[in-house]
A and B are shown apart, each in its own frame.
Chain A
Protein backbone atom coordinates (compact mmCIF):
# COMPACT_ATOMS: atom_id res chain seq x y z
CA UNK A 1 0.00 0.00 0.00
CA UNK A 2 1.25 3.46 -0.87
CA UNK A 3 -0.78 6.61 -0.27
CA UNK A 4 0.47 9.88 -1.69
CA UNK A 5 -0.79 13.41 -1.80
CA UNK A 6 0.86 15.40 -4.53
CA UNK A 7 0.77 19.21 -4.83
CA UNK A 8 -2.82 19.19 -3.60
CA UNK A 9 -4.67 22.49 -3.32
CA UNK A 10 -8.17 22.41 -1.87
CA UNK A 11 -10.70 25.16 -1.28
CA UNK A 12 -14.43 25.37 -0.64
CA UNK A 13 -16.56 27.08 -3.31
CA UNK A 14 -15.36 30.62 -2.65
CA UNK A 15 -13.07 30.26 0.32
CA UNK A 16 -9.35 30.92 0.46
CA UNK A 17 -7.04 27.97 -0.12
CA UNK A 18 -7.55 25.63 2.83
CA UNK A 19 -4.79 23.26 1.72
CA UNK A 20 -2.11 25.01 -0.28
CA UNK A 21 0.00 22.82 -2.53
CA UNK A 22 0.44 20.01 -0.04
CA UNK A 23 2.71 17.00 -0.43
CA UNK A 24 2.47 14.04 1.89
CA UNK A 25 3.57 10.41 1.68
CA UNK A 26 1.98 7.83 3.90
CA UNK A 27 3.68 4.47 4.06
CA UNK A 28 2.10 1.13 4.80
CA UNK A 29 1.52 0.48 8.47
CA UNK A 30 2.25 4.04 9.52
CA UNK A 31 0.38 5.68 12.39
CA UNK A 32 0.21 9.33 11.40
CA UNK A 33 -1.12 11.99 13.76
CA UNK A 34 -2.55 15.20 12.32
CA UNK A 35 -2.84 18.30 14.48
CA UNK A 36 -3.06 22.10 14.39
CA UNK A 37 -5.34 24.93 15.48
CA UNK A 38 -9.13 24.74 15.16
CA UNK A 39 -9.90 25.55 11.54
CA UNK A 40 -6.41 24.89 10.13
CA UNK A 41 -7.70 22.22 7.70
CA UNK A 42 -7.29 18.87 9.48
CA UNK A 43 -10.78 17.63 8.61
CA UNK A 44 -10.39 18.93 5.07
CA UNK A 45 -7.12 17.01 4.66
CA UNK A 46 -8.64 13.80 6.00
CA UNK A 47 -11.74 14.10 3.85
CA UNK A 48 -9.64 14.89 0.79
CA UNK A 49 -7.75 11.63 1.33
CA UNK A 50 -11.08 9.81 1.81
CA UNK A 51 -12.32 11.00 -1.57
CA UNK A 52 -14.75 13.74 -0.51
CA UNK A 53 -13.02 16.93 -1.76
CA UNK A 54 -11.46 16.81 -5.18
CA UNK A 55 -8.37 19.02 -5.14
CA UNK A 56 -8.56 21.92 -7.62
CA UNK A 57 -5.01 21.01 -8.50
CA UNK A 58 -2.84 18.07 -7.53
CA UNK A 59 -3.72 14.45 -6.76
CA UNK A 60 -4.41 11.84 -4.15
CA UNK A 61 -2.85 8.56 -5.27
CA UNK A 62 -3.52 5.12 -3.82
CA UNK A 63 -0.96 2.67 -5.16
CA UNK A 64 -0.25 5.14 -7.92
CA UNK A 65 -3.90 5.49 -8.96
CA UNK A 66 -5.73 8.81 -8.76
CA UNK A 67 -8.66 8.21 -6.40
CA UNK A 68 -10.67 11.01 -8.02
CA UNK A 69 -10.46 9.49 -11.49
CA UNK A 70 -13.68 8.07 -12.92
CA UNK A 71 -12.17 4.66 -13.56
CA UNK A 72 -11.35 4.30 -9.90
CA UNK A 73 -13.63 1.65 -8.40
CA UNK A 74 -15.22 3.16 -5.33
CA UNK A 75 -16.60 -0.10 -3.91
CA UNK A 76 -13.20 -1.65 -3.37
CA UNK A 77 -11.83 1.72 -2.24
CA UNK A 78 -14.42 1.82 0.60
CA UNK A 79 -13.35 -1.64 1.69
CA UNK A 80 -9.71 -0.62 1.78
CA UNK A 81 -10.20 2.77 3.40
CA UNK A 82 -12.65 3.76 6.14
CA UNK A 83 -13.23 7.13 7.74
CA UNK A 84 -14.77 7.95 11.10
CA UNK A 85 -16.15 11.47 10.88
CA UNK A 86 -15.79 14.23 13.43
CA UNK A 87 -19.58 14.30 13.93
CA UNK A 88 -20.45 10.60 13.96
CA UNK A 89 -24.19 11.23 14.20
CA UNK A 90 -24.10 12.49 10.63
CA UNK A 91 -23.15 9.06 9.36
CA UNK A 92 -25.83 6.88 11.01
CA UNK A 93 -29.02 5.87 9.24
CA UNK A 94 -30.07 2.39 10.41
CA UNK A 95 -32.77 1.80 13.04
CA UNK A 96 -30.58 -0.07 15.49
CA UNK A 97 -26.94 -0.55 16.41
CA UNK A 98 -26.76 -4.13 15.18
CA UNK A 99 -27.82 -3.21 11.65
CA UNK A 100 -25.76 -0.03 11.63
CA UNK A 101 -22.59 -2.06 12.21
CA UNK A 102 -23.74 -4.87 9.94
CA UNK A 103 -24.43 -2.50 7.06
CA UNK A 104 -20.78 -2.25 6.06
CA UNK A 105 -20.63 -6.03 5.73
CA UNK A 106 -23.55 -6.18 3.29
CA UNK A 107 -21.42 -5.77 0.21
CA UNK A 108 -18.69 -8.04 1.45
CA UNK A 109 -19.35 -11.63 0.55
CA UNK A 110 -19.34 -13.30 3.92
CA UNK A 111 -21.72 -15.88 5.40
CA UNK A 112 -24.44 -14.88 7.91
CA UNK A 113 -22.47 -16.60 10.68
CA UNK A 114 -19.35 -14.68 9.81
CA UNK A 115 -21.29 -11.40 9.68
CA UNK A 116 -22.68 -12.10 13.10
CA UNK A 117 -19.29 -12.99 14.49
CA UNK A 118 -17.70 -9.84 13.06
CA UNK A 119 -20.49 -7.61 14.34
CA UNK A 120 -20.15 -9.07 17.82
CA UNK A 121 -16.38 -8.67 17.72
CA UNK A 122 -16.67 -5.03 16.69
CA UNK A 123 -19.15 -4.26 19.48
CA UNK A 124 -16.93 -5.96 22.04
CA UNK A 125 -13.85 -4.14 20.79
CA UNK A 126 -15.37 -0.70 21.33
CA UNK A 127 -17.09 -1.62 24.58
CA UNK A 128 -20.74 -1.61 23.50
CA UNK A 129 -22.59 -4.22 25.54
CA UNK A 130 -24.24 -6.64 23.12
CA UNK A 131 -27.38 -7.63 24.98
CA UNK A 132 -28.03 -4.18 26.29
CA UNK A 133 -27.25 -2.22 23.14
CA UNK A 134 -27.86 -4.25 20.00
CA UNK A 135 -31.45 -3.12 19.52
CA UNK A 136 -30.91 0.48 20.60
CA UNK A 137 -31.30 3.22 18.01
CA UNK A 138 -28.01 4.96 17.08
CA UNK A 139 -29.79 8.25 17.69
CA UNK A 140 -30.65 7.49 21.34
CA UNK A 141 -26.97 7.18 22.28
CA UNK A 142 -25.00 9.65 24.35
CA UNK A 143 -22.15 11.51 22.59
CA UNK A 144 -19.41 9.14 23.73
CA UNK A 145 -21.45 6.07 22.81
CA UNK A 146 -21.94 7.46 19.29
CA UNK A 147 -18.15 7.70 18.90
CA UNK A 148 -17.75 4.08 19.88
CA UNK A 149 -20.44 3.01 17.43
CA UNK A 150 -18.85 4.98 14.58
CA UNK A 151 -15.52 3.28 15.26
CA UNK A 152 -17.19 -0.14 15.35
CA UNK A 153 -18.76 0.56 11.94
CA UNK A 154 -15.32 1.33 10.50
CA UNK A 155 -13.28 -1.51 11.99
CA UNK A 156 -15.88 -4.19 11.26
CA UNK A 157 -14.78 -4.32 7.61
CA UNK A 158 -11.07 -4.61 8.58
CA UNK A 159 -9.88 -1.75 6.37
CA UNK A 160 -6.23 -1.42 5.35
CA UNK A 161 -6.38 2.30 5.99
CA UNK A 162 -8.32 3.87 8.84
CA UNK A 163 -8.94 7.63 9.01
CA UNK A 164 -10.11 9.03 12.35
CA UNK A 165 -11.27 12.59 12.93
CA UNK A 166 -10.88 13.49 16.62
CA UNK A 167 -11.98 10.05 17.78
CA UNK A 168 -11.38 10.91 21.46
CA UNK A 169 -13.31 14.13 21.73
CA UNK A 170 -15.86 13.74 24.48
CA UNK A 171 -14.80 10.22 25.42
CA UNK A 172 -14.43 9.36 29.11
CA UNK A 173 -11.17 8.00 30.55
CA UNK A 174 -12.15 4.35 30.18
CA UNK A 175 -13.33 4.94 26.62
CA UNK A 176 -10.09 6.69 25.69
CA UNK A 177 -7.94 3.94 27.10
CA UNK A 178 -10.05 1.31 25.42
CA UNK A 179 -9.82 2.99 22.05
CA UNK A 180 -6.11 3.71 22.39
CA UNK A 181 -5.53 0.02 22.96
CA UNK A 182 -7.72 -0.94 19.97
CA UNK A 183 -5.74 1.46 17.78
CA UNK A 184 -2.43 0.12 19.06
CA UNK A 185 -3.60 -3.41 18.22
CA UNK A 186 -4.69 -2.40 14.72
CA UNK A 187 -1.37 -0.62 14.23
CA UNK A 188 0.55 -3.68 15.39
CA UNK A 189 -1.38 -5.78 12.90
CA UNK A 190 -0.36 -3.52 10.05
CA UNK A 191 -3.35 -1.20 9.61
CA UNK A 192 -2.33 2.22 8.34
CA UNK A 193 -3.90 4.86 10.58
CA UNK A 194 -4.32 8.61 10.11
CA UNK A 195 -5.72 10.30 13.17
CA UNK A 196 -6.68 13.93 13.74
CA UNK A 197 -6.37 14.95 17.38
CA UNK A 198 -5.83 18.02 19.56
CA UNK A 199 -4.47 16.01 22.42
CA UNK A 200 -0.65 16.12 22.57
CA UNK A 201 -0.66 13.33 25.18
CA UNK A 202 -2.52 10.91 22.96
CA UNK A 203 -0.56 11.91 19.86
CA UNK A 204 2.83 11.33 21.46
CA UNK A 205 1.55 8.04 22.85
CA UNK A 206 0.44 6.44 19.59
CA UNK A 207 1.76 8.30 16.54
CA UNK A 208 4.93 7.34 14.65
CA UNK A 209 4.92 10.76 13.05
CA UNK A 210 2.84 13.91 13.42
CA UNK A 211 1.80 16.34 10.71
CA UNK A 212 1.17 19.90 11.92
CA UNK A 213 -0.96 22.09 9.66
CA UNK A 214 -0.96 25.86 9.73
CA UNK A 215 -2.05 28.42 7.16
CA UNK A 216 -2.71 25.78 4.52
CA UNK A 217 0.78 24.29 4.74
CA UNK A 218 2.42 21.37 6.47
CA UNK A 219 4.68 22.98 9.07
CA UNK A 220 5.97 19.71 10.48
CA UNK A 221 5.99 16.07 9.46
CA UNK A 222 8.20 14.51 12.06
CA UNK A 223 8.45 12.22 15.08
CA UNK A 224 6.61 13.41 18.23
CA UNK A 225 9.73 14.39 20.20
CA UNK A 226 10.83 16.80 17.46
CA UNK A 227 7.33 18.20 16.83
CA UNK A 228 6.85 18.96 20.53
CA UNK A 229 10.44 20.05 21.23
CA UNK A 230 9.96 23.82 21.40
CA UNK A 231 7.39 25.25 23.82
CA UNK A 232 7.21 28.62 22.15
CA UNK A 233 6.65 27.15 18.69
CA UNK A 234 4.05 24.68 19.99
CA UNK A 235 2.10 27.54 21.57
CA UNK A 236 2.31 29.53 18.37
CA UNK A 237 1.02 26.59 16.31
CA UNK A 238 -1.70 26.02 18.94
CA UNK A 239 -0.80 22.36 19.50
CA UNK A 240 0.36 22.35 23.14
CA UNK A 241 2.92 19.92 24.54
CA UNK A 242 2.46 16.48 26.14
CA UNK A 243 2.60 16.42 29.94
CA UNK A 244 5.53 13.99 29.91
CA UNK A 245 7.56 16.59 28.02
CA UNK A 246 6.38 19.55 30.14
CA UNK A 247 7.25 17.77 33.38
CA UNK A 248 10.56 16.42 32.07
CA UNK A 249 11.61 19.94 31.05
CA UNK A 250 10.63 21.34 34.45
CA UNK A 251 12.84 18.87 36.31
CA UNK A 252 15.59 18.54 33.71
CA UNK A 253 14.91 14.92 32.79
CA UNK A 254 16.14 13.61 29.43
CA UNK A 255 13.49 11.45 27.73
CA UNK A 256 15.74 10.35 24.84
CA UNK A 257 13.31 11.30 22.07
CA UNK A 258 10.58 9.07 23.53
CA UNK A 259 7.64 11.02 24.97
CA UNK A 260 5.43 8.02 25.82
CA UNK A 261 4.13 7.62 29.34
CA UNK A 262 5.81 4.27 29.93
CA UNK A 263 9.21 5.70 28.99
CA UNK A 264 8.61 8.73 31.25
CA UNK A 265 7.90 6.46 34.25
CA UNK A 266 10.87 4.26 33.39
CA UNK A 267 13.21 7.28 33.35
CA UNK A 268 11.84 8.57 36.66
CA UNK A 269 12.25 5.15 38.20
CA UNK A 270 15.83 4.98 37.04
CA UNK A 271 16.59 8.46 38.33
CA UNK A 272 15.03 8.09 41.76
CA UNK A 273 15.71 4.46 42.51
CA UNK A 274 19.34 4.89 41.43
CA UNK A 275 19.59 7.82 43.84
CA UNK A 276 18.58 5.53 46.68
CA UNK A 277 21.29 2.94 46.03
Chain B
Protein backbone atom coordinates (compact mmCIF):
# COMPACT_ATOMS: atom_id res chain seq x y z
CA UNK B 1 0.00 0.00 0.00
CA UNK B 2 1.31 3.45 -0.94
CA UNK B 3 0.09 6.53 0.89
CA UNK B 4 0.82 10.00 -0.37
CA UNK B 5 0.12 12.71 2.15
CA UNK B 6 -0.07 16.42 1.32
CA UNK B 7 2.88 16.51 -1.04
CA UNK B 8 3.95 19.52 -3.08
CA UNK B 9 6.66 19.84 -5.68
CA UNK B 10 8.35 22.44 -7.86
CA UNK B 11 11.29 21.94 -10.21
CA UNK B 12 14.03 24.51 -9.66
CA UNK B 13 12.15 27.18 -11.63
CA UNK B 14 9.61 27.65 -8.81
CA UNK B 15 6.60 26.87 -10.98
CA UNK B 16 4.18 24.74 -8.96
CA UNK B 17 3.80 21.31 -10.50
CA UNK B 18 2.08 19.50 -7.63
CA UNK B 19 0.25 21.26 -4.87
CA UNK B 20 -0.80 19.50 -1.73
CA UNK B 21 -1.79 16.17 -3.26
CA UNK B 22 -2.90 13.24 -1.13
CA UNK B 23 -3.83 9.81 -2.43
CA UNK B 24 -3.58 6.14 -1.69
CA UNK B 25 -2.71 3.33 -4.04
CA UNK B 26 -4.50 0.24 -2.84
CA UNK B 27 -2.92 -3.20 -3.02
CA UNK B 28 -4.29 -5.64 -5.57
CA UNK B 29 -6.14 -2.91 -7.43
CA UNK B 30 -5.69 -1.08 -10.72
CA UNK B 31 -5.45 2.66 -10.16
CA UNK B 32 -5.42 5.01 -13.14
CA UNK B 33 -4.20 8.59 -13.20
CA UNK B 34 -5.74 10.88 -15.81
CA UNK B 35 -4.62 14.40 -16.57
CA UNK B 36 -3.69 16.49 -19.56
CA UNK B 37 -0.15 16.77 -20.90
CA UNK B 38 2.12 18.57 -18.48
CA UNK B 39 -0.29 18.21 -15.55
CA UNK B 40 2.38 16.50 -13.45
CA UNK B 41 1.55 12.79 -13.74
CA UNK B 42 5.07 11.61 -14.52
CA UNK B 43 6.42 13.96 -11.86
CA UNK B 44 4.04 12.42 -9.34
CA UNK B 45 5.23 8.94 -10.26
CA UNK B 46 8.88 10.00 -10.00
CA UNK B 47 8.17 11.38 -6.53
CA UNK B 48 6.51 8.14 -5.43
CA UNK B 49 9.48 6.15 -6.72
CA UNK B 50 11.85 8.47 -4.83
CA UNK B 51 13.52 9.51 -8.09
CA UNK B 52 12.85 13.16 -7.18
CA UNK B 53 12.90 14.83 -3.75
CA UNK B 54 9.54 16.02 -2.37
CA UNK B 55 9.38 19.72 -1.52
CA UNK B 56 6.74 19.18 1.11
CA UNK B 57 4.67 16.32 2.54
CA UNK B 58 5.24 12.60 3.06
CA UNK B 59 5.02 9.39 1.07
CA UNK B 60 4.74 6.00 2.77
CA UNK B 61 5.07 2.50 1.42
CA UNK B 62 3.54 -0.03 3.83
CA UNK B 63 3.69 2.68 6.49
CA UNK B 64 7.42 3.23 5.98
CA UNK B 65 8.46 6.79 5.07
CA UNK B 66 10.23 6.60 1.69
CA UNK B 67 12.47 9.44 2.76
CA UNK B 68 14.87 7.05 4.54
CA UNK B 69 17.07 4.14 3.58
CA UNK B 70 14.56 1.45 4.48
CA UNK B 71 11.80 3.25 2.58
CA UNK B 72 13.93 3.53 -0.54
CA UNK B 73 14.86 -0.14 -0.26
CA UNK B 74 11.20 -1.09 -0.12
CA UNK B 75 10.43 1.06 -3.15
CA UNK B 76 13.29 -0.47 -5.14
CA UNK B 77 12.27 -3.98 -4.09
CA UNK B 78 8.54 -3.74 -4.74
CA UNK B 79 8.09 -1.27 -7.58
CA UNK B 80 8.64 -1.55 -11.31
CA UNK B 81 7.92 1.04 -13.96
CA UNK B 82 7.52 1.14 -17.71
CA UNK B 83 8.49 4.66 -18.75
CA UNK B 84 6.74 6.92 -21.21
CA UNK B 85 9.71 7.00 -23.56
CA UNK B 86 10.94 3.44 -24.15
CA UNK B 87 14.40 4.78 -24.96
CA UNK B 88 14.80 5.68 -21.28
CA UNK B 89 14.13 2.12 -20.39
CA UNK B 90 16.85 -0.11 -21.65
CA UNK B 91 20.06 -0.70 -19.73
CA UNK B 92 21.46 -3.09 -22.32
CA UNK B 93 21.25 -2.89 -26.13
CA UNK B 94 20.26 -6.55 -26.56
CA UNK B 95 16.72 -7.39 -25.50
CA UNK B 96 17.61 -10.63 -23.76
CA UNK B 97 20.44 -9.05 -21.76
CA UNK B 98 18.21 -6.16 -20.81
CA UNK B 99 15.48 -8.41 -19.43
CA UNK B 100 18.03 -10.67 -17.70
CA UNK B 101 19.52 -7.64 -15.99
CA UNK B 102 16.16 -7.10 -14.27
CA UNK B 103 15.85 -10.79 -13.45
CA UNK B 104 19.28 -10.87 -11.83
CA UNK B 105 18.35 -7.82 -9.77
CA UNK B 106 15.34 -9.76 -8.57
CA UNK B 107 17.51 -12.77 -7.68
CA UNK B 108 15.98 -15.05 -10.30
CA UNK B 109 18.35 -18.03 -10.73
CA UNK B 110 20.30 -17.94 -13.97
CA UNK B 111 19.15 -21.43 -14.93
CA UNK B 112 15.57 -20.31 -15.48
CA UNK B 113 16.24 -16.80 -16.79
CA UNK B 114 16.06 -17.75 -20.46
CA UNK B 115 12.64 -19.31 -19.94
CA UNK B 116 11.44 -16.17 -18.17
CA UNK B 117 12.66 -14.01 -21.06
CA UNK B 118 10.94 -16.23 -23.60
CA UNK B 119 7.63 -16.26 -21.78
CA UNK B 120 7.67 -12.47 -21.30
CA UNK B 121 8.39 -11.91 -25.01
CA UNK B 122 5.60 -14.35 -25.94
CA UNK B 123 3.15 -12.28 -23.89
CA UNK B 124 3.76 -9.20 -26.03
CA UNK B 125 4.07 -11.04 -29.38
CA UNK B 126 7.82 -10.51 -29.67
CA UNK B 127 8.54 -14.23 -29.84
CA UNK B 128 12.07 -14.84 -31.09
CA UNK B 129 13.30 -11.27 -30.50
CA UNK B 130 15.80 -12.29 -27.76
CA UNK B 131 18.95 -11.34 -29.67
CA UNK B 132 17.61 -8.17 -31.30
CA UNK B 133 19.27 -4.84 -30.67
CA UNK B 134 16.70 -2.41 -29.26
CA UNK B 135 17.93 0.33 -31.56
CA UNK B 136 16.61 -1.69 -34.52
CA UNK B 137 13.06 -1.90 -33.17
CA UNK B 138 10.08 0.15 -34.31
CA UNK B 139 8.47 2.49 -31.75
CA UNK B 140 5.67 0.08 -30.88
CA UNK B 141 8.10 -2.85 -30.66
CA UNK B 142 10.25 -0.84 -28.22
CA UNK B 143 7.24 -0.26 -26.02
CA UNK B 144 6.46 -3.97 -26.13
CA UNK B 145 10.05 -4.88 -25.22
CA UNK B 146 10.01 -2.41 -22.34
CA UNK B 147 6.77 -3.93 -21.06
CA UNK B 148 8.20 -7.45 -21.42
CA UNK B 149 11.10 -6.45 -19.16
CA UNK B 150 8.66 -5.55 -16.42
CA UNK B 151 6.34 -8.51 -16.99
CA UNK B 152 9.31 -10.87 -16.59
CA UNK B 153 10.14 -9.84 -13.03
CA UNK B 154 8.01 -10.28 -9.97
CA UNK B 155 7.29 -6.74 -8.78
CA UNK B 156 4.35 -6.29 -6.44
CA UNK B 157 3.62 -2.75 -7.63
CA UNK B 158 3.88 -1.81 -11.30
CA UNK B 159 3.57 1.62 -12.92
CA UNK B 160 2.76 1.99 -16.62
CA UNK B 161 3.48 5.62 -17.50
CA UNK B 162 1.96 6.14 -20.96
CA UNK B 163 3.56 2.87 -21.91
CA UNK B 164 1.04 2.05 -24.64
CA UNK B 165 1.03 5.23 -26.71
CA UNK B 166 2.58 3.63 -29.82
CA UNK B 167 0.89 0.26 -29.69
CA UNK B 168 -1.50 -0.90 -32.40
CA UNK B 169 -5.03 -1.92 -31.34
CA UNK B 170 -4.00 -5.58 -31.02
CA UNK B 171 -0.92 -4.74 -28.97
CA UNK B 172 -3.02 -2.57 -26.71
CA UNK B 173 -5.50 -5.40 -26.09
CA UNK B 174 -2.64 -7.80 -25.43
CA UNK B 175 -1.18 -5.54 -22.76
CA UNK B 176 -4.62 -5.02 -21.22
CA UNK B 177 -4.89 -8.79 -20.85
CA UNK B 178 -1.46 -8.89 -19.20
CA UNK B 179 -2.59 -6.23 -16.75
CA UNK B 180 -5.77 -8.20 -16.05
CA UNK B 181 -3.57 -11.23 -15.31
CA UNK B 182 -1.41 -9.21 -12.95
CA UNK B 183 -4.48 -8.00 -11.11
CA UNK B 184 -5.63 -11.60 -10.74
CA UNK B 185 -2.25 -12.36 -9.19
CA UNK B 186 -3.04 -9.62 -6.69
CA UNK B 187 -0.45 -7.18 -8.01
CA UNK B 188 -0.89 -3.45 -7.57
CA UNK B 189 -1.06 -1.57 -10.85
CA UNK B 190 -0.92 2.13 -11.67
CA UNK B 191 -1.76 3.16 -15.22
CA UNK B 192 -1.23 6.55 -16.77
CA UNK B 193 -2.60 6.84 -20.28
CA UNK B 194 -4.34 9.24 -22.64
CA UNK B 195 -6.17 6.31 -24.16
CA UNK B 196 -9.58 5.72 -22.63
CA UNK B 197 -9.55 1.98 -23.40
CA UNK B 198 -6.49 1.57 -21.18
CA UNK B 199 -8.26 2.95 -18.11
CA UNK B 200 -11.77 1.60 -18.73
CA UNK B 201 -11.22 -1.37 -16.43
CA UNK B 202 -9.43 0.47 -13.64
CA UNK B 203 -10.81 -0.01 -10.12
CA UNK B 204 -10.23 3.63 -9.37
CA UNK B 205 -9.39 6.73 -11.40
CA UNK B 206 -7.68 9.85 -10.07
CA UNK B 207 -8.19 12.96 -12.16
CA UNK B 208 -5.45 15.61 -11.97
CA UNK B 209 -5.95 19.20 -13.03
CA UNK B 210 -4.43 22.50 -11.92
CA UNK B 211 -1.78 20.74 -9.82
CA UNK B 212 -4.36 18.89 -7.74
CA UNK B 213 -6.55 15.82 -7.74
CA UNK B 214 -9.91 17.26 -8.63
CA UNK B 215 -11.91 14.05 -8.59
CA UNK B 216 -11.47 10.40 -7.81
CA UNK B 217 -13.87 7.52 -8.18
CA UNK B 218 -14.83 4.44 -10.18
CA UNK B 219 -14.07 4.33 -13.88
CA UNK B 220 -17.77 4.81 -14.59
CA UNK B 221 -18.08 7.80 -12.25
CA UNK B 222 -15.13 9.60 -13.77
CA UNK B 223 -15.44 8.65 -17.43
CA UNK B 224 -19.13 9.52 -17.76
CA UNK B 225 -18.63 12.94 -16.15
CA UNK B 226 -18.55 14.92 -19.40
CA UNK B 227 -18.14 18.40 -17.92
CA UNK B 228 -15.32 17.46 -15.56
CA UNK B 229 -13.37 15.58 -18.24
CA UNK B 230 -13.85 18.45 -20.67
CA UNK B 231 -12.66 20.94 -18.05
CA UNK B 232 -9.58 18.85 -17.39
CA UNK B 233 -8.74 18.62 -21.12
CA UNK B 234 -9.12 14.84 -21.26
CA UNK B 235 -10.38 12.83 -24.24
CA UNK B 236 -14.11 12.17 -23.89
CA UNK B 237 -15.02 8.49 -24.36
CA UNK B 238 -16.87 8.02 -27.67
CA UNK B 239 -20.16 6.73 -26.17
CA UNK B 240 -20.18 9.61 -23.68
CA UNK B 241 -19.63 12.14 -26.46
CA UNK B 242 -22.48 10.59 -28.46
CA UNK B 243 -24.75 10.67 -25.40
CA UNK B 244 -23.92 14.33 -24.87
CA UNK B 245 -24.31 15.42 -28.50
CA UNK B 246 -27.62 13.62 -29.00
CA UNK B 247 -28.89 15.09 -25.73
CA UNK B 248 -28.14 18.55 -27.13
CA UNK B 249 -30.29 17.68 -30.12
CA UNK B 250 -33.16 16.55 -27.95
CA UNK B 251 -32.53 12.81 -28.17
CA UNK B 252 -32.25 11.48 -24.63
CA UNK B 253 -30.86 8.08 -23.70
CA UNK B 254 -31.83 6.64 -20.33
CA UNK B 255 -28.28 6.11 -19.04
CA UNK B 256 -24.94 7.41 -20.18
CA UNK B 257 -23.16 4.48 -21.90
CA UNK B 258 -19.45 3.80 -21.48
CA UNK B 259 -18.78 1.03 -24.03
CA UNK B 260 -19.90 0.54 -27.62
CA UNK B 261 -22.04 -2.38 -26.47
CA UNK B 262 -23.83 -0.19 -23.95
CA UNK B 263 -24.18 2.59 -26.51
CA UNK B 264 -25.80 0.20 -28.99
CA UNK B 265 -28.21 -1.01 -26.30
CA UNK B 266 -29.18 2.51 -25.31
CA UNK B 267 -29.69 3.49 -28.95
CA UNK B 268 -31.81 0.42 -29.65
CA UNK B 269 -34.05 1.11 -26.69
CA UNK B 270 -34.67 4.68 -27.88
CA UNK B 271 -37.06 3.86 -30.66
- Chain A interface (Cβ within 8 Å of chain B)? 12, 15, 36-39, 42-43, 86-87, 89, 140-145, 166, 169-176, 198, 200-201, 235, 238-240, 243, 246-247, 250-251, 261, 264-265, 268-269, 272-273, 275
Contacts and interface: CB of A to CB of B under 8 A. Distances in A.
Interface string B119-159: 00000000000000000111111011000000000000000
Contacts of A250: 260-261, 263-264
A97 B236 CA distance: 30
A109 B82 CA distance: 45
B162 A246 contact: no
B85 interface: yes
B38 A145 contact: yes
Nearest to B138: A39
A200 B87 CA distance: 26
A269 B37 contact: no
8 contacts: A38-B167, A174-B234, A175-B233, A198-B166, A239-B169, A251-B267, A269-B246, A273-B249
A175 B165 CA distance: 14
B162 A170 contact: yes
A12 B133 CA distance: 13
B270 interface: yes
Instruction: Report the interface size class on chain B.
Output: 35 or more
B270 to A, nearest CB: 6
A42 B246 CA distance: 37
Contacts of A171: 37, 194
B270 A38 contact: no
Give the secondary structure class of A's interface: helix
B254 interface: no
B38 A142 contact: yes
B37 A172 contact: yes
B68 interface: no
B37 A144 contact: yes
B168 A238 contact: yes
Contacts of B250: 273
Contact of B260 (A43, A239, A247): A247
B166 A238 contact: no
Given A173-B235, A239-B169, A272-B251, A87 B87 contact: yes
Interface in B192-251: 194, 229, 233-236, 238-239, 241-242, 245-246, 249-251
B245 A170 contact: no
B176 interface: no
A238 B249 contact: no
B178 to A, nearest CB: 15
Given A37-B140, A89-B85, A243-B260, 4 more contacts: A15-B136, A250-B263, A268-B246, A273-B251
B105 interface: no
Given A238-B168, A247-B260, A250-B264, A38 B38 contact: no
Contacts of B260: 243, 246-247, 250
A200 B249 CA distance: 26
A15 to B, nearest CB: 7
B166 to A, nearest CB: 5
Interface in B70-91: 84-85, 87
A247 B242 CA distance: 11
A268 B233 contact: no
Nearest to B271: A275
Contacts of B136: 12, 15
Nearest to A200: B169
Given A172-B36, A175-B37, A176-B235, A251 B268 contact: yes
Interface string B17-41: 0000000000000000001111000
B170 interface: yes
B171 interface: yes
